[in-house]
Amino acid sequence: MAELQKWKLLQSETVINHRWCKVRRDEIELPNGKVIDDFFVHVKPDIAFVLAITPNQKVIFVRQYRHAINDFFIEIPAGGFNAENENPLSAALRELEEETGVRIQVSSFAYFQKL
């Protein structure tokens, strides 16, 4: 099996720079030499996800409306944050409280990792 190779970024420009949505258009070269001049990337902010498990071993979910698909979803609490103003742990705790009303102490976290 051939070794995987990264794509080469030739140039990049922001095409949408809105408070809630940022999109860039990249021109890239694939490992086989083919150039793609319109590879669009939806740039996402840093996001904190919380997998909250109660003492009874139940997972805390939230039910939220997602306008893009005009329906409700059941998901774990999560939300974006600006890493320049807030650390991931604070963001995770804030999102858990905002979306579920649950407040926990930092010592209650069994595991925390930045991906």
Mean pLDDT of 96-111: 80
Residue 77: name the closest of 52, 104, 106 by CA: 52
What's the pLDDT band for 61 if we cut at 50, 70, 90?
A: very high
User: Residue 43 has what pLDDT?
Assistant: 92
User: Residue 115 has what pLDDT?
Assistant: 59
**Over 70: is that where the pLDDT of 108 sits?**
no
**Over 60: is that where the pLDDT of 110 sits?**
no
**Over 90: is that where the pLDDT of 96 sits?**
yes
**Over 60: is that where the pLDDT of 81 sits?**
yes
pTM > 0.95: no
CA distance 3 to 93: 40
